Structure 1
Amino acid sequence: MGQVRFYTRSGRTPAEALFDRLDARFADEGWPVSLSEVDEKAELFEASVYFEDADTVDETAVREAFGDAEPVREDLPDIDWMAEVLAGLKPVRAGRFLVHGAHDRDKVLPNDLAIEIEAGQAFGTGHHGTTAGCLTMIESVVRRRRPRNALDLGTGSAVLAIAFAKLARRPVLATDIDPVAIAVARQNVRANGVSRYVETATATGFGSPAFRRAAPFDLVIANILAGPLMQLAPQLARHLSADGDVVLSGILERQRDAVLSAYRIQGLFHRRTLRRGEWVTLHLCRNRAGAV
């Protein structure tokens, strides 16, 4: 008894094709299928399928589904992962923001801007350096610039959109390519009492009518990865107001200069870099004054 997963690693295109095959074969039976990037520099991706009971898995069917890709079998310990994760996740403080789970509501202080996000949902519980860095930068930008509206691009759990809404009390559009993430984001928005301010939408890049309704944005927040951020630079700049600000993260220190160059071409100037471990969060703006 115990969980088991089968996986292979390859480039993006074959990994995506394999993910589609596994999803078509196993999703209707309730077995989770995943696709994740395991090495950005090497452009290496991992396609996996998980089974609840290792003793009853039909390995022949699994290997047939993988086709020419020989899967690796990994037997997983029989652990209540949610309990383990919640036990290890402590509240995260970033400026006035306190990101916490329901089990830590008693840690909220009177002047905190509390954001309740449960682990195990969509990406973004505040514990990763990129999310915490964005929260710190959002507070700084909102206090100084008072943006009238915002975009949280690649919202995941919606923690950043919720943070902006709680602090600025202004409209924010939260988008993601993953409809599951958007469903979770909507739940979190409601749970945190900011439905009045936050609109959610499933969208790839800037391909949604929601952008046309809400743009231009005074503040764009994008915590994704360096590669997609550079690809999206022209579209992002077109949806930014004439004096708008941008907060970018999901960027390794060694990728910082390349990202800054991609946005400098679009007329966006670097104002500040916030470092947390190997990750950086960038603040850019339209206005050259004060840029570095």
Structure 2
Amino acid sequence: MLEGLPPNGATHVMRVEAPEREARAISDIISESFDPADVATAAFEREDLAEGAPWAVEAYFAEAPDEDSLRDLIALVAPEHAAAVTFLTLDKKDWVAASLEGLAPVNIGRFVVHGSHDRGKLAPSRIGIEIEAALAFGTGHHGTTKGCLEAIAAYGNRRRPARTLDVGTGTGVLAMAAARLFHAPVVASDIDRVAVATARANARANRAAQHIHFLHAPGLGAGIFHRQGPYDLILANILLPPLKAIAKPLRRLLAPGGRVVLSGLLPSHANAALAAYRAQGLHLVRRRTIEGWTTLELSADSGRPRQ
């Protein structure tokens, strides 16, 4: 789940189309002007439009923004596009329904994230993860989730973790992917009780519940994290502020030589997250940017976690 956006109530969305250069400038000025705990923004190429067509910029706000002020802000970097900005409001259910409606299954490695209408189209060799519109974020169609699924698939080509931790599990897509691929224990947590309940139901529907222990927990301070660990693979698909806040406790839960996957990051925030984890003895293995969102893969040295 993308923590930092509201776990309850409406999400307010701003959208505008512009050429790549202006789209990136719009995304940057919004992300630099607002608290990242309250706003998430991304610029990305529209896959449904012809080559050379405008990019799209989307910004998600926890509270309704001042539309005139936001247009004035955009006018500073892209004056010809400020008038074309549109706004809409999504309630919790609409957020996920909008991300699923009319979208084809997502194919990443052996994983296929799909709705029930595509259930019969899966090849026997693929790992299907079925997600319907629900009261939590994370369907596999978002760039952050895609980046994490790619990282899980790549990790599985090299080794099988004894234990996996999924922080901010949302609908449970990443936890289910790890459970279905590795057939090994997974701990999945979220700050939102509704998300935990949704993820647990999704895991049952996807025959993955026997491998996953779901829990409602803010942060990583609960004793169960340590009792179930250490973890060879830790996934954290959340935004920059909570990613930085959990860097030290997360490092203590990581097994020697373990792998950490961080996502929910705008490209402009990736270096700040990387610095926080480098301070804990981790080093960058790979950086992916998909649809305006960055995923970092980091590896632990073989020494003991920092205290």
Q: CA, structure 1 residues 247+103, in 2 after alignment: closer, same or farther (shift >3 Å)?
A: same
Q: Distance in 2 between matches of 1:265 and 1:280?
A: 20
- Aligned identity (percent) is 45
Q: CA, structure 1 residues 198+76, in 2 after alignment: closer, same or farther (shift >3 Å)?
A: closer
Match of 1:144 in 2: 158
Q: CA, structure 1 residues 91+262, in 2 after alignment: closer, same or farther (shift >3 Å)?
A: same
Q: Distance in 2 between matches of 1:86 and 1:148?
A: 32
Query: Is 2:106 aligned against 1:130?
Result: no
User: Which segments of 5 or more consecutive residues in structure 2 lack a partner in the other structure?
Assistant: 15-29, 39-60, 65-86, 303-307
SS state at 1:33 partner: coil
Structure exhibiting the larger radius of gyration computed from Cα positions: 1
Q: Give the superposition deviation at 1:263.
A: 0.5
Q: Distance in 2 between matches of 1:177 and 1:95?
A: 29
Query: Is 2:62 aligned against 1:46?
Result: yes
Superposition map of 1:236-275 within 5 A: 236-275=250-289
Query: Is 2:135 aligned against 1:159?
Result: no
Q: Give the superposition deviation at 1:243.
A: 1.5
User: Which segments of 5 or more consecutive residues in structure 1 lack a partner in the other structure?
Assistant: 1-11, 20-31, 49-73
Query: Is 2:49 aligned against 1:33?
Result: no
Q: Distance in 2 between matches of 1:129 and 1:107?
A: 23
Q: CA, structure 1 residues 261+36, in 2 after alignment: closer, same or farther (shift >3 Å)?
A: farther
Match of 1:218 in 2: 232
Normalised to the residue count of structure 2, the TM-score between the two structures is 0.69
Q: Distance in 2 between matches of 1:282 and 1:36?
A: 27
Q: CA, structure 1 residues 220+83, in 2 after alignment: closer, same or farther (shift >3 Å)?
A: closer
SS state at 1:105 partner: helix
More displaced 10-residue stretch of structure 1: 195-204 or 37-46 = 37-46
Deviations 1:92-116 (A, max 9, x none): 1111100001111122111110000
Residue 166 of structure 2 aligns with an amino acid whose one-letter code is: D
Are the counterparts in 2 of residues 152 and 175 from structure 1 also a CA contact under 8 Å? yes
Are the counterparts in 1 of residues 264 and 295 from structure 2 also a CA contact under 8 Å? yes
Q: Distance in 1 between matches of 2:127 and 2:248?
A: 33
Query: Is 2:108 aligned against 1:94?
Result: yes
Are the counterparts in 2 of residues 155 and 176 from structure 1 also a CA contact under 8 Å? yes
Are the counterparts in 2 of residues 37 and 46 from structure 1 also a CA contact under 8 Å? no
Q: Distance in 2 between matches of 1:209 and 1:187?
A: 24
Residue 209 of structure 1 aligns with an amino acid whose one-letter code is: G
Q: Distance in 2 between matches of 1:108 and 1:90?
A: 12
Residue 270 of structure 1 aligns with an amino acid whose one-letter code is: L
Q: Distance in 1 between matches of 2:225 and 2:13?
A: 27
Query: Is 2:221 aligned against 1:207?
Result: yes
Q: Give the superposition deviation at 1:87.
A: 3.8
Are the counterparts in 1 of residues 99 and 141 from structure 2 also a CA contact under 8 Å? no
Q: Give the superposition deviation at 1:145.
A: 2.9
RMSD: 2.9
Q: Distance in 1 between matches of 2:136 and 2:88?
A: 24
Q: Distance in 1 between matches of 2:286 and 2:131?
A: 28
Query: Is 2:246 aligned against 1:232?
Result: yes
Are the counterparts in 1 of residues 134 and 198 from structure 2 also a CA contact under 8 Å? no
Are the counterparts in 1 of residues 100 and 141 from structure 2 also a CA contact under 8 Å? no
Match of 2:135 in 1: 121
Query: Is 2:83 aligned against 1:107?
Result: no
